[in-house]
Every structure is written in C-alpha cells, then in structure tokens.
Amino acid sequence: MAAKRAIEQSLPVPLFNDPYAATLAGDEVENLLTKWRKVAERQGRSLEDVIIKRTRYIAIRTRFFDDLLLATLPQLSAPQVVILGSGLDTRAYRLSWPPVTNLYEVDMPGVLAYKSHALRNLKPNCRHTMIAGDLENLQSGWIARLLEAGLRQESPTIWILEGVVMYLPEPSAHSLLRTVTALSCPGSVLGIDVVKSGSILAAQSAKNADRGRVVRHWQFGCDEPQQLLRGYGWNAEVSQPQDVGIAHGRYPQSMPIHAEVGGQQGNRGIWLAKARKDR
C-alpha cells in the first residue's frame, strides 16, 4: 500500500500528497514498477496507464479518508482521531492538523516499530501516539492501552478503519465494530471501507489459484453496509469508488464478472462509508 501511494505521486495530477510513502515502501516501489513495465509492454499500453489502473482504488480511498478527516476536524473543539490497523499510514506527518489534535494509531508492534524507525527524523503535526495491539484479538490489550493513553470516551472520536475489516474473520469484524461503538459517544464519526460478498468469492478463487497477492487475504464482505452500520448505531453515507467526485476517470463504472484475480462470478466491488453515531 505504501508503494502504491508513493507511485501515485509520479502521476501528473496525484489525488493526494504523500512525500513519505517512498521511504516506508523502500524497494517495493521499484519491484512494483518493474512488474508494471512488463504488463505495459505485454498489453501495448503506456506505463502511466498501468499505474493509473493499479493504484486507482488506493488513491481514491486515501483521498476519501483525507477529505473526511479535514472536513470533520474543524467541527470538534478538541479533536481525537483513532486509526485502527494504521499500517504504514503517514497522515500524522503529512496532513495539517489542529495543534490540539490527539491522533492514536493502533497496529501490530512490529509494524509500528518499523514505521517509527523509518520516520524517526520527522516530527508529527499533531499529538501522536502509537498503540500496539492485534485488532483480531480484543484481549491483546490495545483497548486498555488506548484509554490509558488518553482517549476520552465522553468526547466525539473520529475513527478510521481503512483496509481493515475485509481482512478479519466475520466474527472478529463484528466484534471490532461493537468495540468501536462502545468506545464512541454520540457525534463520533467513522470512516470505513468494506468489500462486497462477490469480492470475497473472487478472493477465495484467487487464493485457490495461488494468485491475488493482496485480495487472497480477504475474509469479510458485506452487500448492505448502511444496514450493517445502522445495527451498531451509526448513520452512514455510502459511496462506491466510481461515484466519489475525485474518482472521475480513474475507476470503471462496474467491475467485470470475471475478475483478474480469480474468474469467480459474483457482485464484486467496494464500499466507502462515512458515518456518524446517533446514539
């Protein structure tokens, strides 16, 4: 993901600015470009065309959550943001945060240690805290550590679950949503992306065919994200990537029935949602 964000910067009009992704991605940037040059040659297309196709969803998703954050932060007097499964996210360093913002990142300790070391010479633009924890295991202590670090349950929180729930078994995905809800007061905001059930079928087919480097790990999908989130007390506004205004020309109106990664029929696609807790 970091490599794709870095490569997005090479396009004439990137959808977002991330000057730190290349540092985190390291050799993976050139590894991807080497593969994509071969694809471009084989298909008789330009490398730029291949890059646009291979980075389109990550670019749209990154910009979608950037915009959600930047639009919501001014509405909060003392903003607090939690990025769950933050991975190699660089928003702490690249976005303009209100100085009083508390940003918490939760991910596996090895991931956070790698990022902290790679970006050790940079200063975050907010009050930044990294919390080690396994989102699939609610007993791993991250909830207690998050509260001990200063998360205020009585104040609205912005939660970002970017590229998270599709990698969890279904029971774990629901447990995580219940936990986020329990930690949130009314007025909290949630940003989340969810794949459709057909994409899970395609992912399983890709895994069986030993293809799909990323999607083969997907486990949880949902065809009714508004209903899913409403069940946990969140009023959601849901979009597909092709319907997001900034996505014009970057994403197809519909996904092919026979996916590149597996050839499994089904209703494939991805939802992007921003939701507010009503109760």
Report the CATH number that the domain containing residue 103 is assigned in CATH: 3.40.50.150
Give the strand pairing for 158-161 and 189-195. parallel
Q: What is the pLDDT of residue 140?
A: 79
Task: Tell me the mean pLDDT in the region 122-148.
Answer: 94
pLDDT(208) > 70: no
- 121's tokens: 């010479």
262 and 173 together in one domain: yes
40 and 98 together in one domain: no
Model pTM above 0.85: yes
Q: What is the CA radius of gyration of the chain?
A: 19
30 and 145 together in one domain: no
Q: What is the pLDDT of residue 263?
A: 39
| Cβ atoms of residues 262 and 212 within 8 Å | yes
Share above pLDDT 90 across residues of the chain, in percent, rounded to a whole number: 76
pLDDT(246) > 80: no
161 and 51 together in one domain: no
Domain-ending residue, one of 18, 39, 59: 59
CA atoms of 184 and 153, how far apart (whole Å):
6
| Cβ atoms of residues 134 and 112 within 8 Å | no
107 and 118 together in one domain: yes
- Apex 230 CA angle, 227 and 234, nearest 5: 140
- Domain tally, the chain: 2
| Cβ atoms of residues 255 and 242 within 8 Å | no
CA atoms of 256 and 133, how far apart (whole Å):
37
90 and 36 together in one domain: no
Residues 6+ apart with CB under 8 A from 235: 229, 275, 276, 277, 278
- 89's tokens: 């996210």
Domain-ending residue, one of 14, 33, 59: 59
Domain holding 244, by residue range, is: 60-277
231 and 265 together in one domain: yes
